[in-house]
């Protein structure tokens, strides 16, 4: 939560800062956002596999949080877009290092019958930080007369608090003596051991991500309808409130009913969000689209984590989360670059109508696969 407060204080303003202060194009914004998220995802495969090989999770998670914290001062000091690209890149490497080991640790701790609820709760707490951050950015922009650099300096504080908390206050449970650490989690045998159900989950996750580009374009949509720079972070506040309120109930519900149905409903909500953002260029249309976007995130993101945990063998969970994030991160890179190019060529409506098309194609694919992405808890414990 603390790291999300720190990151979102910066990310809520960064697209507008790049375009209005540094003169970057929206294609550049899409490229930066896509590269940032793809970097995090590529790093996760190695950190996840290393956590399986070591049989330990906390060290890598703390390293990732520390790297992100120590990178934060680069944002207020950056004199050009190139420096911001470097800062965003290093920050996302930190996210990549901590992501898969942290998720594998949650999967190790959570009882199989409560995995949906566990990941939903984690997603909700993350998202609370993600809307507190933009709220703080709004207050600071108001009190400093739109001083972007001052906001970036304040954002450093919760980042270092986050690192201190995991380093000093989080205790890793004793490893299961009967579980052998994976000898080489990245070889072909290990990939086959992950199983067909797991790889179907990965495929569905990739198509989902192609339908959902970076939230930076929600911020740019707010700017395009004339929202004042001070209020632009309210876009992420609204999105993350609906995200936080829906993620935990969705996780609890997914432990009781078929998770595929919830994912399909999430895609319907994404399609509706794209439609509103494309065709309703007003404050009301923006609010509706952003709220639906957040609700779609709440219904899908924690569920994917639970599906990965269900399908993967316990000794390969770090690797499983790493592969999942690698492939979905590459899809995010493609989606964000496509979105930026469409925006430059056809404007906001072109970008969001293309997102609508991808969402509908994804929904058709998900319905065709049906229950092929769910695995009994007993199987996942192997």
In this predicted model, what pLDDT tens digit does every residue of 334-354 receive, in sequence order?
Answer: 888 888 888 888 888 888 998
pLDDT of 210 higher than 90? no
pLDDT of 73 higher than 70? yes
Would you give the distance in Å from CA 363 to the centre of its chain?
Answer: 20
Q: Write the CB contacts of 329 (distance below 8 Å, at least 6 apart in sequence).
A: 37, 38, 39, 40, 41, 42, 44, 209
**How far apart, in whole angstroms, are the C-alpha atoms of residue 336 and residue 286?**
19
pLDDT at 157: 93
pLDDT of 3 higher than 50? yes
Task: Report which of residues 70 and 26 the model is more confident about.
Answer: 70
In this predicted model, what pLDDT tens digit does every residue of 9-54 receive, in sequence order?
Answer: 887 777 777 777 776 677 777 777 667 766 776 777 777 777 777 7
The band of 130, judged by pLDDT with boundaries at 50, 70 and 90, is: confident
**How far apart, in whole angstroms, are the C-alpha atoms of residue 22 and residue 28?**
11
What average pLDDT score do residues 116-129 get?
Answer: 79
pLDDT at 324: 87
What average pLDDT score do residues 215-229 get?
Answer: 82
pLDDT at 183: 60
pLDDT at 173: 66
**How far apart, in whole angstroms, are the C-alpha atoms of residue 174 and residue 168?**
17
Q: Please name which of 319, 57, 103 lies closest in space to residue 194, comparing C-alpha atoms.
A: 319
In this predicted model, what pLDDT tens digit does every residue of 78-94 receive, in sequence order?
Answer: 777 777 777 877 887 88
């Amino acid at each position: 939560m603390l790291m999300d407060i720190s990151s979102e204080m910066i990310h809520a303003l960064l697209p507008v800062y790049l375009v209005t202060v540094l003169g970057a194009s929206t294609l550049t914004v899409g490229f930066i956002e896509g590269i940032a998220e793809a970097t995090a995802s590529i790093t996760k495969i190695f950190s996840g596999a290393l956590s399986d090989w070591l049989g330990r999770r906390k060290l890598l998670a703390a390293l990732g949080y520390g790297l992100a914290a120590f990178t934060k001062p680069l944002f207020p000091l950056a004199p050009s877009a190139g420096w911001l690209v470097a800062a965003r890149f290093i920050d996302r490497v930190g996210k990549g290092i901590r992501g898969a080991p942290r998720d594998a640790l949650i999967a190790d701790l959570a009882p199989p019958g409560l995995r949906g609820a566990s990941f939903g709760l984690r997603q909700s707490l993350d998202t609370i930080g993600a809307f507190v951050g933009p709220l703080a950015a709004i207050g600071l922009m108001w009190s400093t007369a739109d001083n972007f650099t001052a906001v970036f300096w304040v954002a450093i504080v919760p980042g270092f608090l986050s690192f201190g908390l995991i380093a000093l206050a989080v205790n890793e449970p004793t490893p299961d003596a009967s579980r052998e650490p994976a000898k080489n989690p990245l070889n072909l045998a290990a990939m086959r051991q992950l199983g067909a159900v797991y790889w179907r989950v990965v495929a569905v996750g990739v198509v989902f991500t192609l339908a959902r580009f970076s939230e930076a374009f929600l911020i740019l949509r707010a700017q395009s309808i004339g929202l004042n720079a001070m209020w632009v972070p309210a876009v992420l506040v609204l999105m993350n409130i609906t995200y936080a309120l829906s993620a935990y109930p969705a996780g609890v519900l997914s432990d009781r009913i078929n998770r595929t149905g919830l994912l399909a409903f999430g895609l319907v909500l994404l399609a509706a969000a794209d439609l509103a953002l494309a065709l309703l260029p007003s404050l009301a249309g923006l609010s509706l689209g952003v709220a639906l976007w957040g609700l779609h995130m709440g219904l899908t993101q924690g569920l994917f984590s639970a599906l990965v945990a269900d399908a993967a063998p316990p000794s390969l969970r770090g690797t499983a989360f790493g592969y999942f994030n690698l492939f979905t991160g590459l899809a995010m890179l493609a989606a964000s670059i496509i979105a930026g190019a469409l925006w430059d060529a056809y404007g906001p409506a072109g970008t969001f109508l293309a997102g609508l098309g991808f969402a509908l194609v994804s929904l058709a694919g998900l319905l065709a696969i049906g229950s092929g992405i769910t695995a009994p808890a007993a199987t996942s414990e192997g």
